[in-house]
């Protein structure tokens, strides 16, 4: 039986948000959806870190969801959508949940409140209040190097018992914490790795899937890694990982998603690599490195076809 929790697995794409001349570029957005709907992905995350969600107005977020859902419906690929929301005050996030309750989404992705550094008891109370109010299931987002405080496993295990909390995007950057949580998590609590460079290790020890910016590129290879790991073909998975491992580091050489946006613009998937301040486009040195890698991978693909 298909339930929201069972859909929270496999390869999810944290979609970048294309801009042109300061506005949401709906043409490029539709082009992206048509492209990735034909790829082996299992879901989309909108308006999160990779989508520059904090730089979007509420009207833009609503339009983003509407355009993506419309394009998916037109194509006939009914991928689940997870919407990123964030903030500091619990009351503000409850207001955001109420505002988006009727939106055509399937999950929320919510990180710990940044800057204020609440205690674990505070985090437990915060996420419990949100889960009690949410109209759609919540995916917790543990990313302490951005939020300044992380969810420890004891807190995560308590939150995992809440019926409205479906799973976790794990970016704790601590392999031992990830392994311990995977070993101890209750049935039905889905764990998706979000650390691109460490994703292979997390999948090998039992993560249910991955939310990876790098999967904007080499999408088929990333999907193959998950497929091979699930089937127990670890040598095949390792061979696929070897083809993308360097890419997972290159795309984070400068603050994300600028390198990925540059790559997508250079390869014609979006019209512009434009970012919103305080985020900026990649510098000349990284642009040159990305150009070289784009050309190298294009040559490898052409050689395989030949």
Calculate mean pLDDT across residues 79-108: 97
- Using a pLDDT cut of 70, give the percent of the chain over it: 98
Residue 83: the pLDDT is 98
Kindly name the residue from 141, 145, 230, 261 that is annotated as catalytic: 141
- Whether residue 301 lies inside any domain: the answer is no
Distance CA 82, CA 85 (A): 10
Q: What six digits make up the tokens of 96?
A: 């955001």
Give the span between the Cα atoms of 200 and 204, in whole angstroms.
6
Cα-based distances in Å from 91 to 98, 118, 120, 128 = 11, 15, 18, 13
The answer as to whether 263 is a domain residue is: no
The mean pLDDT value of the chain amounts to 96
pLDDT tens digits for range 117-126: 999 999 999 9
- Check if 230 is active-site: no
User: Left, alpha or beta for 11 (phi > 0: left; psi -120 to 50: alpha)?
Assistant: beta
φ, ψ dihedrals at 71, nearest 5°: -65, -40
Residue 244 maps to a domain: no
User: What span, in angstroms and rounded, lies between the C-alpha atoms of 109 and 269?
Assistant: 25
266, pLDDT greater than 90: yes
Among 169, 230, 261, 262, the one annotated catalytic = 169
Classify residue 239: in a domain, yes or no. Answer: no
How far apart (Å, rounded) are the C-alpha atoms in residues 50 and 99?
Answer: 22
pLDDT at 145: 87
Residue 276 in any domain: the answer is: no
**Helix spans in 49-204 (H):** 58-75, 90-99, 120-133, 144-147, 153-160, 175-184, 199-204
Q: How many structural domains comprise the chain?
A: 1
Rounded to whole angstroms, the Cα distance separating 170 from 211 reads: 9
Q: What is the pLDDT of residue 296?
A: 94
CB proximity list for 146: less than 8 A, separation 6 or greater:
49, 111, 114, 171
Per-residue model confidence (pLDDT) at position 153: 98
Are residues 173 and 116 in contact, defined by beta-carbon separation less than 8 angstroms? no
Q: DSSP secondary-structure letter at 293?
A: H
Alpha-carbon distances of 163 from 2, 34, 81, rounded to whole Å: 16, 34, 19
Dihedral in degrees, nearest 10, Cα atoms 36, 42, 45, 49? -80
Residue numbers in the known binding site are 50, 211
| 197-213 confidence digits (pLDDT tens) | 999 999 999 999 999 99
- Tell whether the model's pLDDT for residue 34 goes beyond 90: yes
**pLDDT over 90 for what percent of the chain?**
92
Q: How confident is the model at residue 303 (pLDDT cuts 50, 70, 90)?
A: confident
Question: Does residue 146 carry a pLDDT above 90?
Answer: no
Domain assignment of residue 209, yes or no:
yes
- pLDDT at position 300: 82
Predicted confidence at residue 24, as pLDDT, reads: 98
CATH number of the domain that 63 lies in? 3.20.20.70
What confidence tens digit (pLDDT) does each residue in 129-141 have? 999 999 999 999 9
Which residues make up each annotated binding site for pyruvate?
50, 211
**Rounded average pLDDT over 54-74:** 98
CB count, 10 Å around CB of 219? 19
Mean pLDDT of 284-300: 95
**167 assigned to some structural domain:** yes
Give the domain extent around 205. 4-234
């Amino acid at each position: 039986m298909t339930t929201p929790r069972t859909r929270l697995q496999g390869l999810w794409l944290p979609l970048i948000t294309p801009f042109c001349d300061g506005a949401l570029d709906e043409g490029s957005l539709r082009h992206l959806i048509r492209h990735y709907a034909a790829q082996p992905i299992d879901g989309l995350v909108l308006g999160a870190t990779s989508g520059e969600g904090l730089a979007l107005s509420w009207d833009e977020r609503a339009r983003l969801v509407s355009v993506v859902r419309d394009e998916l419906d037109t194509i006939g690929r009914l991928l689940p959508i997870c919407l990123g929301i964030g903030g500091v005050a619990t009351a503000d996030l409850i207001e955001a949940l109420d505002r988006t309750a009727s939106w055509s989404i399937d999950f929320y992705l919510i990180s710990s409140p940044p800057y204020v550094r609440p205690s674990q008891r505070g985090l437990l109370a915060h996420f419990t209040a949100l889960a009690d109010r949410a109209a759609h299931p919540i995916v917790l987002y543990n990313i302490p190097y951005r939020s300044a405080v992380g969810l420890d496993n004891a807190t995560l295990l308590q939150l995992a018992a809440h019926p409205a909390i479906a799973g976790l995007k794990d970016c704790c950057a601590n392999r031992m914490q990830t392994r311990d949580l995977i070993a101890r998590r209750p049935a039905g609590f889905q764990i998706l790795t979000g650390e691109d460079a460490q994703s292979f290790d997390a999948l090998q020890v039992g993560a249910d899937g991955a939310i990876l910016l790098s999967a904007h590129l080499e999408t088929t290879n990333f999907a193959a890694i998950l497929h091979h790991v699930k089937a127990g073909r670890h040598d095949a998975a390792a061979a696929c990982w070897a083809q993308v491992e360097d890419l997972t580091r290159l795309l984070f050489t400068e603050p994300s998603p600028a390198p990925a946006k540059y790559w997508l613009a250079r390869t014609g998937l979006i019209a512009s690599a434009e970012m919103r301040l305080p985020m900026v486009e990649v510098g000349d040195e990284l642009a040159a490195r990305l150009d070289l890698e784009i050309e190298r991978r294009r040559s490898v693909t052409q050689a395989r076809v030949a």
